[in-house]
């Protein structure tokens, strides 16, 4: 058995009805359902591959339905690189049961013992025999009516796993209207919201002037929530701009918060889990200390967030690209003062989100507009500026490292202290406040929940703060800081980007001090053979670390995929700009389901991390966020993207491990280590841009 456990996958234990997970259709297709969502990570393709493999039907016959409350299994949220581990393992086991039931039915039909039968391409037969029956004939259009109670054996993995074309790609390549933004149901109304200049501004008045036109445009005002609805999108958008210029706001406070490094709530972290109680002081005289930082960074989805809603006699239906439709359903009901059973939330694809962006907020905007114009669907799209200014950012972080080397050049003492603001600002059911933005602006507002430190294993700030290396009694301290100056929440990899950056830079700094090369120094402290294998594979793929190269290594959350990244940089002597020319990635994600999809995620994560690490910082003044568009918040462009090569270490005997966030940290560290190799300058503060290099040179 691939997963090596007798327990049912958790999602399957919660939702044991087989018919909820899959249905064999009379039209020779197979529908599989997931409570997760497609966010560009290739989830639907991977799930189709799992179902096709387990039931031996063509991938092209599989239809994947993503999260739709009341219709698909409730899997809460698509986050933390858990979809293949959660939904994939549940679906695989559900399909194994379906396979067994189909074989039993075929045994009756064909008069052969089930043990002799096999499925191939949807046909069941005794291999080499003449009689066959298709699964479509056996079960097409009829439910299994079967409850899954025990775990049964699954098919052995395909070795090597097949290369599969993304099932959602042909339509996107042709420019089909597949995105939420493209929905055009009859009677559709478009809407724009008008936002205050900052979190801390409230509406005073809206000035009027001129002659009214004949128009279907309507303005909706509730406290400081202002929206325009109408039939023509362009007229709505134009009018919203004019209206915005006529809004008078009052500023009630400035964008300010606790700095990182002063006041904090501190927790000792033991094996990835924070524990309450006093934090031991640094109990050794360090050989080396170093402080690393990153600024606030953005999800900055390519498309501004959008949602559609329709309000019919107290019942609300919402189309969203949120990663947590089931959570959104309950939090919308809370703000709107309706029963959650009267809210239906349907996932529809948006642009890549990379965590908690504006998707949930705009769903509330749409619901408010729909309630004001009942009986018609209302599609709200944020502007670029709104997305940049109002999304919850990936929080700024700071890590202070300290270590003592023994006479033999081994790490004898280790300390890692990490400061940050909350990484968990998602709207969650059951809380007194609301983390949906428009709730704060209403005439009768619902305030945001007060952020509190989360003490789960490997969550938020302390994600990957626990070292991968075998070190004697590492001292790891999580320092939760509140409030921050900006709204923050979950951005892909959460604290791992910064913690891995700090650990892996510090390992290089220590290696240099010990007079050992970076790989040997890491090897000296590694006891996990899988970690060592990816490190060596990445270095081998790169052909060594000589020259302007650096490496970074991590196991995501210390429990998911392993990834090592080697980066090669060129640093311009005059402009001090850094260009990453090449990346080499090696990864071990256990059993590989969709190799090309996995490589795509690893590469995409690394390239996105380069953008964060080299270029990105949310700029803000006391009055407003100043990063408003792609000019004021530049990201990596095509002419700055490196060549990338990736090697997978497939382990068909091990369970599949989430990999969507595995390369963010290692790629960031690899670049900083490569810059150090190229220039001798240790740049510890992101973004690693020309200013940072000059500051490091002046130090």
Partner 1 sequence: MPAEVHRIRLPALLNLPRVLQYAPRMVAFIVNGERREVDRADEVPLAYVLRNDLALPGTRLACGLEQCGACLVLLDGECRYACTLPVGDCAGRAVTTVEGLADAERLHPVQQALLDHNAAQCGYCLSGILVRASALFEGNPHPSRDEIRAALAPQLCRCGAQPRVLRALDALSRSG
C-beta closer to partner 1: residue 371 or 479 = 371
**Residues 98, 30: contact at Cβ < 8 Å?**
no
38: exposed, middle or buried (C-beta count within 10 Å: 0-12, 13-18, 19+)? Answer: buried
Q: What does residue 532 show for φ and ψ, rounded to 5 degrees?
A: -65, -40
With CB under 8 A as the contact rule, which of the stretches 363-371, 425-433, 452-460, 497-505 interacts with partner 1?
A: 363-371
State the Cα–Cα distance between residues 481 and 263, nearest whole angstrom. 7
Query: How remote is the C-alpha of 296 from its chain's centroid?
Result: 17
**Residues 106, 114: contact at Cβ < 8 Å?**
yes
**What would the two tokens of residue 84 be?**
């293949």
Nearest distance in Å: CB 350, partner 1: 8
C-beta closer to partner 1: residue 414 or 633 = 633
Which of 4, 111, 127, 210 is the binder for partner 1 (CB under 8 A)?
210
**Residues 358, 305: contact at Cβ < 8 Å?**
yes
Quick note: the x/- pattern for partner 1 over 169-198, rule CB under 8 A, is xx-xxxxxxxx-xx-x--------------
Kindly give, in sequence order, each residue whose CB lies less than 8 Å from that of residue 568, ignoring residues fewer than 6 positions away.
Answer: 542, 547, 548, 549, 580, 581, 582, 583, 642, 674
C-beta closer to partner 1: residue 446 or 513 = 446
Nearest distance in Å: CB 397, partner 1: 21
Binders in 270-329 for partner 1, by CB under 8 A: 300-304
With CB under 8 A as the contact rule, which of the stretches 150-158, 208-216, 554-562, 613-621 interacts with partner 1?
A: 208-216
**Counting contacts by CB under 8 A, is residue 368 touching partner 1?**
yes
Nearest distance in Å: CB 330, partner 1: 15
Nearest distance in Å: CB 239, partner 1: 6
C-beta closer to partner 1: residue 168 or 508 = 168
Q: H/E element holding 118? A: strand 118-120
Binders in 26-65 for partner 1, by CB under 8 A: 39-42
Which of 4, 130, 208, 407 is the binder for partner 1 (CB under 8 A)?
208
Nearest distance in Å: CB 232, partner 1: 8
Nearest distance in Å: CB 619, partner 1: 16
State the Cα–Cα distance between residues 114 and 107, nearest whole angstrom. 5
SS3 at position 185: coil
**Counting contacts by CB under 8 A, is residue 597 touching partner 1?**
yes
C-beta closer to partner 1: residue 220 or 647 = 220
Angle between helices 664-679 and 595-615 (to 10 degrees): 50
Number of Cβ within 10 Å of residue 120's Cβ equals 11
Q: Which of 113, 40, 536 is nearest to 321 (CA)?
A: 40
With CB under 8 A as the contact rule, which of the stretches 100-108, 110-118, 153-161, 597-605 interacts with partner 1?
A: 597-605
Q: Give the sign of the dihedral formed by CA 580, CA 584, CA 588, CA 589.
A: positive
**Residues 44, 56: contact at Cβ < 8 Å?**
no
- Sheet containing 22-24: which strands, arranged edge to edge? 22-24, 30-33, 62-65
**What would the two tokens of residue 295 be?**
């600024």
Kindly give, in sequence order, each residue whose CB lies less than 8 Å from that of residue 512, ignoring residues fewer than 6 positions away.
Answer: none
With CB under 8 A as the contact rule, which of the stretches 69-77, 200-208, 277-285, 525-533 interacts with partner 1?
A: 200-208
C-beta closer to partner 1: residue 188 or 279 = 188
Length of the chain as a residue count: 699
Nearest distance in Å: CB 190, partner 1: 8
State the Cα–Cα distance between residues 134 and 299, nearest whole angstrom. 47
Total interface residues for partner 1 by CB under 8 A: 97
Binders in 324-353 for partner 1, by CB under 8 A: 335-337, 349-352
Nearest distance in Å: CB 210, partner 1: 4
DSSP bridge partners of 63? 31
Which of 223, 286, 295, 409 is the binder for partner 1 (CB under 8 A)?
223
Upper half-sphere CA count for residue 389 (Cβ side, 13 Å): 19
Nearest distance in Å: CB 99, partner 1: 28
C-beta closer to partner 1: residue 430 or 638 = 638
C-beta closer to partner 1: residue 445 or 666 = 445
C-beta closer to partner 1: residue 130 or 575 = 575
**What would the two tokens of residue 422 be?**
């909350």
Binders in 370-389 for partner 1, by CB under 8 A: 371-373, 381, 383-384
**Counting contacts by CB under 8 A, is residue 222 touching partner 1?**
yes
Kindly give, in sequence order, each residue whose CB lies less than 8 Å from that of residue 403, ignoring residues fewer than 6 positions away.
Answer: 286, 287, 288, 411, 413, 414, 415, 506, 510
Number of Cβ within 10 Å of residue 193's Cβ equals 27
Binders in 406-445 for partner 1, by CB under 8 A: 439, 442-445
C-beta closer to partner 1: residue 428 or 635 = 635
Which of 6, 432, 639, 698 is the binder for partner 1 (CB under 8 A)?
639
C-beta closer to partner 1: residue 441 or 688 = 441
With CB under 8 A as the contact rule, which of the stretches 100-108, 129-137, 222-230, 556-564 interacts with partner 1?
A: 222-230
Which of 114, 132, 133, 235 is the binder for partner 1 (CB under 8 A)?
235
State the Cα–Cα distance between residues 578 and 615, nearest whole angstrom. 10
Binders in 446-485 for partner 1, by CB under 8 A: 446
C-beta closer to partner 1: residue 267 or 354 = 354
**Residues 218, 373: contact at Cβ < 8 Å?**
yes
State the Cα–Cα distance between residues 210 and 219, nearest whole angstrom. 16
Q: What is the dihedral of CA 34, 121, 19, 169, to 10 degrees?
A: 20
**Counting contacts by CB under 8 A, is residue 606 touching partner 1?**
yes
Kindly give, in sequence order, each residue whose CB lies less than 8 Å from that of residue 574, ignoring residues fewer than 6 positions away.
Answer: none
State the Cα–Cα distance between residues 398 and 686, nearest whole angstrom. 10
State the Cα–Cα distance between residues 384 and 208, nearest whole angstrom. 26
**Counting contacts by CB under 8 A, is residue 206 touching partner 1?**
yes
SS3 at position 685: strand
C-beta closer to partner 1: residue 192 or 463 = 192
Which of 217, 318, 498, 674 is the binder for partner 1 (CB under 8 A)?
217
**Counting contacts by CB under 8 A, is residue 630 touching partner 1?**
yes
With CB under 8 A as the contact rule, which of the stretches 51-59, 396-404, 535-543, 607-615 interacts with partner 1?
A: 607-615
Binders in 236-265 for partner 1, by CB under 8 A: 238-239, 242-243, 246
State the Cα–Cα distance between residues 488 and 299, nearest whole angstrom. 11
With CB under 8 A as the contact rule, which of the stretches 94-102, 205-213, 617-625, 681-689 interacts with partner 1?
A: 205-213
Binders in 112-141 for partner 1, by CB under 8 A: none
């Amino acid at each position: 058995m691939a997963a090596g456990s007798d327990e049912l996958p958790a999602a399957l234990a919660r939702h044991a009805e087989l018919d909820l997970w899959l249905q064999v259709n009379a039209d020779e297709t197979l529908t599989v359902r997931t409570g997760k969502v497609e966010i560009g990570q290739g989830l639907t393709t991977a799930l189709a591959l799992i179902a096709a493999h387990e039931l031996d039907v063509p991938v092209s016959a599989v239809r994947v339905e993503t999260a739709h409350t009341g219709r698909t299994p409730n899997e809460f949220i698509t986050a933390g690189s858990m979809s293949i581990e959660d939904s994939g393992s549940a679906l695989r086991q559900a399909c194994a049961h379906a396979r067994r039931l189909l074989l039993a039915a075929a045994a009756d039909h064909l008069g052969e013992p089930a043990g002799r039968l096999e499925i191939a391409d949807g046909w069941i037969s005794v291999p080499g025999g003449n009689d066959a029956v298709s699964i479509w004939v056996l079960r097409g259009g009829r439910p299994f009516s079967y409850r899954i109670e025990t775990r049964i054996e699954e098919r052995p993995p395909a070795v090597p796993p097949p290369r599969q074309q993304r099932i959602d790609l042909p339509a996107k390549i042709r420019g089909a209207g597949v995105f939420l933004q493209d929905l055009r149901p009859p009677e559709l109304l478009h809407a724009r919201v008008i936002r205050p200049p900052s979190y801390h501004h409230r509406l005073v008045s809206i000035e009027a002037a001129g002659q009214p036109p004949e128009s279907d445009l309507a303005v909706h005002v509730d406290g400081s929530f202002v929206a325009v609805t109408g039939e023509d999108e362009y007229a709505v958008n134009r009018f919203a701009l004019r209206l915005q210029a006529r809004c008078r706001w009052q500023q009630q406070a400035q964008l300010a918060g606790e700095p990182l490094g002063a006041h904090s709530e501190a927790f000792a972290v033991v094996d990835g889990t924070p524990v309450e109680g006093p934090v031991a002081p640094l109990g050794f005289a360090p050989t080396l200390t170093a402080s690393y930082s990153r600024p606030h960074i953005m999800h900055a989805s390519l498309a501004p967030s959008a949602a559609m809603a329709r309000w019919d006699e107290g019942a609300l239906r919402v189309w969203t690209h949120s990663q947590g439709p089931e959570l959104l359903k309950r939090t919308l009901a809370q703000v709107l003062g309706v029963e959650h059973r009267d809210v239906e939330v349907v996932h529809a694809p948006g642009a890549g989100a990379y965590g908690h962006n504006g998707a949930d907020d705009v769903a509330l905007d749409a619901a408010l507009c729909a309630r004001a114009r009942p009986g018609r669907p209302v599609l709200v799209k944020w502007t670029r500026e709104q997305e940049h200014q109002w999304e919850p950012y990936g929080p700024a972080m700071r890590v202070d490292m300290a270590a003592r080397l023994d006479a033999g050049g081994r790490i004898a003492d280790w300390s890692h202290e990490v400061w940050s603001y909350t990484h968990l600002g998602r709207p969650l059911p059951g809380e007194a406040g609301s983390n949906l933005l428009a709730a704060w602006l209403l005439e009768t507002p619902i305030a945001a929940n007060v952020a509190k430190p989360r003490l789960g294993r490997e969550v938020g700030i302390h994600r990957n703060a626990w070292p991968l290396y075998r070190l004697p009694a590492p001292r790891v301290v999580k320092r939760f800081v509140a409030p921050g100056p900006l709204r923050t929440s979950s951005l892909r990899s959460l604290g791992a980007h910064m913690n891995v950056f700090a650990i892996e830079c510090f390992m290089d700094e220590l290696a240099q001090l010990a007079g050992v090369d970076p790989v040997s120094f890491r090897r000296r402290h590694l006891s996990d053979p899988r970690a060592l294998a990816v490190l060596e594979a990445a270095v081998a793929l790169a052909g060594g670390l000589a020259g302007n190269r650096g490496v970074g290594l991590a196991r995501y959350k210390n429990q998911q995929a392993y990834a090592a990244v080697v980066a090669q940089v060129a640093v311009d002597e005059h402009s001090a700009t850094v260009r990453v020319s090449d990346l080499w990635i090696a990864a071990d994600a256990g059993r590989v389901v969709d190799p090309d999809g996995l490589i795509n995620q690893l590469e995409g994560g690394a390239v996105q991390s380069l953008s964060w690490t080299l270029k990105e910082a949310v700029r803000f003044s006391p009055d407003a966020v100043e990063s408003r568009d792609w000019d004021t918040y530049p990201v990596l462009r095509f002419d700055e993207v490196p060549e990338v090569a990736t090697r997978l270490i497939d382990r068909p005997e091990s369970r599949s491990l989430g990999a969507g966030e595995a390369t963010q940290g290692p790629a960031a560290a690899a670049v900083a280590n490569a810059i150090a190799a190229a220039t001798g300058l240790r740049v510890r503060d992101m973004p690693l841009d020309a200013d940072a290099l000059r500051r490091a040179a002046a130090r």
